[in-house]
Amino acid sequence: MTSAPGTSLAVARETKNKVTARKRIAVQGLIKRFNTGRGEFVAVDRVSFEVCQGEFVALLGPSGCGKSTILNMVAGLLPRSDGRILIDDDVVETGRVNPKVGYVFQRDTLFPWRTVEHNIGYGLEIAGMPKAERATRVADAIDKAGLTGFAQSFPRMLSGGMRQRAALMRTLILEPEILLMDEPFGALDTHTKLEMHKTLLDIWERERQTVLFVTHDLGEALTLASRIILLSARPGRLKDDFDVSFPRPRDPVDLRETAEFGRLYSHIWHSLGEEFRRTKAD
Amino acid sequence: MLNHRSVILFWQLAILVLLLLVWQWGFEWSKALLPKAYVPKILDPYFVAKPSLIWQSFLRLGCLNDPGEFLTCVQSTDNNLWTATLVTLKNTWWGFLFGSTTGVIVGLVLGRSDFLSGVFGPYIIAFNSIPRIALVPLVILIFGLGDWSKVATAWLVVFFVVFFNTFEGARAVDRDQIAAARLMGAKEFTILRTVVIPSALAWVFASLLPAVSFALIGVIVGEFIGAERGLGKLIIEAEGRANASEMMVAIFIMMFVGILLALVVRSLQSYLLRWQPQFERSE
């Protein structure tokens, strides 16, 4: 992999993906400007990339590089300043929810007044699913998330990891084909994070959703993703694009011990390190 | 090691007994022991009555002197203790209920709409700046001496307290929680019902406990200024007779009414907010 500038890189990926799979997310010339008190600044600068069916793409970059901003625009939570975003060839409109898309927040957004089962069942409940059917699905999801016995607990009684597993299940129970994740494990300690990686890998390797996963943690990106898109420090530009072809199923702990992991880690780290230094220099 | 709770209970009871003793006999003791100039006037039963007199007044006002005559006594006196209590309790409750319901509704609507809160904001602030008690004579002029004027007075005090808290609560709803609900397919009304209202409820309840005592204050003031029945009316009547012990009876009953209402709100609160740590049942 070389660090070719934006346009030729996008072309290279396009030709490569044409043969492999149908594209689900297409980001084209995306620009986001913010107006602050001291004038306008560019958070995201002409970013283009595509995510194909069944890909697990990590959007990696130093903090403040606009990666969450990109994700929020893909989700339709934030208006874009310029450019286009297509999901399955439909233009994403701000404020319109696409039922095929699931979103997991960085912050804990479980409803504190609902028990775990009512949190996980929220989407099904408002979709009007009959109670009996819902109960079966929710119980199944609770088991899958390793939260058996905590169905009646309120979120504050759970640990951070358990809460994020519940939040993940709350999204996954709606069976989204496309999953957008905004540093979902960013607030967890290392050990809990590894457990969450295991949970997510188990689910993803079985169900193969199309995932766009925002993170600043290179180890996390390498563990989970099949492809890493590297963004530059502010303003966020596409810097590089790496394939992560470690065999699956992956074990988040064992994987880190392998030589290939180390090689790819230091290779990307070199590129990422420049951006970290630029962030610091700002 | 002494049991902590029983030590506290001991001191609570000891203070109560001491207070009652001083109240009952303090004036006579100090008259017997102290030079005249040092006798505390505050202990004079003419001003503060004393427990035994209060008890007698309680029995008389409550028609409890002769158990056989209870019914005829209650029916013959217009504003006996029990009707007065029921009337005050009832008016407080309705005033509280109307005031808090309207406060919650208007608070939610304005809290979720920048346009409406912009338009009505100054009016609400202006109206809230009027000392509510100043409106009581006007309310009595409009609604008459009966129960409705008391309900309206209680409404006036309760509404704004609950409104402001609900408004803040509706503003303080976590944007990410709303976004999460929306991304799971919730429409505006569903978001209001399943996210905004539960989230604002903690704020609402924070205002309900003060609101219930405000409602009682509103009703009593209304009864002071013009009423046919009620505990406030009882106090005004006793004042006319310079009867401190009857006033004390009404005051104590008010205290119990206040406690009762607060308990009702409190238990509702601890059920509806059981997801909050401070209301966790100790298991």
Phi-psi region at A54: left, alpha or beta (left = phi > 0; alpha = psi -120 to 50): left
Tell me if A143 sits within 8 A of A165, measured CB to CB: no
Per-residue pLDDT at B247 exceeds 60 = yes
Q: What is the pLDDT of residue B73?
A: 81
Asked if A154 has any chain B CB less than 8 Å from its own CB, the reply is yes
Asked if B186 has any chain A CB less than 8 Å from its own CB, the reply is yes
Domain B76-279: CATH class, spelled out: mainly alpha
**Model confidence pTM above 0.95:** no
* A227-231 vs A82-87, strand pairing mode: unpaired
Q: What is the SS3 assignment for chain B?
A: CCCHHHHHHHHHHHHHHHHHHHHHHHHHHHHHHCCHHHCCHHHCHHHHCCHHHHHHHHHHHCCCCCHHHHHHHHHHCCCCHHHHHHHHHHHHHHHHHHHHHHHHHHHHHHHHCHHHHHHHHHHHHHHHHCCHHHHHHHHHHHHCCCHHHHHHHHHHHHHHHHHHHHHHHHHCCCHHHHHHHHHCCCCHHHHHHHHHHHHHHHHHHHHHHHHHHHHHHHHHHHHHHCCCCCHHHHHHHHHHCCCHHHHHHHHHHHHHHHHHHHHHHHHHHHHHCCCCHHHCCCC
Residue B231's closest CA among B257, B210, B259, B212? B257
Backbone angles phi, psi at A182, to 5 degrees: -105, 95
Per-residue pLDDT at B283 exceeds 80 = no
DSSP reduced 3-state for A253: helix
Residue B277 corresponds to which tokens in the numbers above?
Answer: 């740590």
Q: Considering only B61-75, B91-105, B109-123, which range has the smallest mean pLDDT?
A: B61-75
Greater pLDDT, A108 or B103: B103
Confidence tier at B76 by pLDDT (50, 70, 90): confident
Portion of chain B with pLDDT greater than 70, in percent: 98
B167-198 pLDDT per residue, tens: 989 988 998 899 999 989 888 889 999 999 99
Residue B68 is which amino acid?
G
ipTM value greater than 0.90: no
Q: What is the pLDDT of residue A4?
A: 43
Comparing alpha-carbon positions, the chain B residue that sits nearest to A97 is B183
Tell me if A215 sits within 8 A of A162, measured CB to CB: no
User: B184 and A122 in contact by Cβ < 8 A?
Assistant: yes
Mean pLDDT for the stretch of residues B33-40: 85
Q: The sheet that has A210-215: what strands, in order across it? A: A101-104, A178-182, A210-215, A56-60, A227-231, A238-243
What's the DSSP call for residue A222? H
User: B198 and A111 in contact by Cβ < 8 A?
Assistant: yes
Q: What is the pLDDT of residue A12?
A: 47
Task: Report how many Cβ contacts below 8 Å link chain A to chain B.
Answer: 57
Q: What is the pLDDT of residue A8?
A: 45
Portion of chain B with pLDDT greater than 90, in percent: 55
Residue B71's closest CA among B79, B114, B62? B62
**What is the rounded distance in angstroms from the CA atom of residue A168 to the CA atom of residue A116?**
12
**What is the rounded distance in angstroms from the CA atom of residue B281 to the CA atom of residue A25?**
48
Q: For the stretch A116-136, what's the b/e string if a residue is b when 16 or more beta carbons lie within 10 angstroms of its beta carbon? A: bbbbbbbbbbbeeeeeeebee
Residue A123 corresponds to which tokens in the numbers above?
Answer: 């989407």
Low-confidence ranges of chain A (pLDDT < 70): 1-20, 279-282
Asked if A75 has any chain B CB less than 8 Å from its own CB, the reply is yes
Q: How many helices (H) and strands (E) does chain A have?
A: 10, 10
Q: What is the pLDDT of residue A3?
A: 43
User: B194 and A127 in contact by Cβ < 8 A?
Assistant: no
Domain ranges of chain A: 6-100+176-281, 110-175
**What is the rounded distance in angstroms from the CA atom of residue A186 to the CA atom of residue A220?**
10
Residues 6+ apart with CB under 8 A from A53: A21, A22, A23, A24, A210
**What is the rounded distance in angstroms from the CA atom of residue A69 to the CA atom of residue A104?**
14
Domain ranges of chain B: 1-48, 76-279
Mean pLDDT for the stretch of residues B248-277: 90
Q: Considering only A253-267, B13-27, B255-269, which range has the smallest mean pLDDT?
A: A253-267
Confidence tier at B56 by pLDDT (50, 70, 90): very high
Asked if A86 has any chain B CB less than 8 Å from its own CB, the reply is no
* Residue of A87, A111, A170 to mutate for B, most B C-beta atoms under 10 A: A111
User: A127 and B185 in contact by Cβ < 8 A?
Assistant: yes
User: B184 and A170 in contact by Cβ < 8 A?
Assistant: yes
**Chain A: closest CA distance from residue B275 (Å):** 5
User: B201 and A101 in contact by Cβ < 8 A?
Assistant: no
Residue B5 corresponds to which tokens in the numbers above?
Answer: 């709770």
User: B183 and A97 in contact by Cβ < 8 A?
Assistant: yes
Asked if A97 has any chain B CB less than 8 Å from its own CB, the reply is yes
Q: What is the pLDDT of residue B2?
A: 63
CATH code for the structural domain at A6-100+176-281? 3.40.50.300
Asked if A113 has any chain B CB less than 8 Å from its own CB, the reply is yes
User: B186 and A174 in contact by Cβ < 8 A?
Assistant: no
Comparing alpha-carbon positions, the chain B residue that sits nearest to A126 is B186
Residue A261 is which amino acid?
F
Q: What is the pLDDT of residue A199?
A: 87
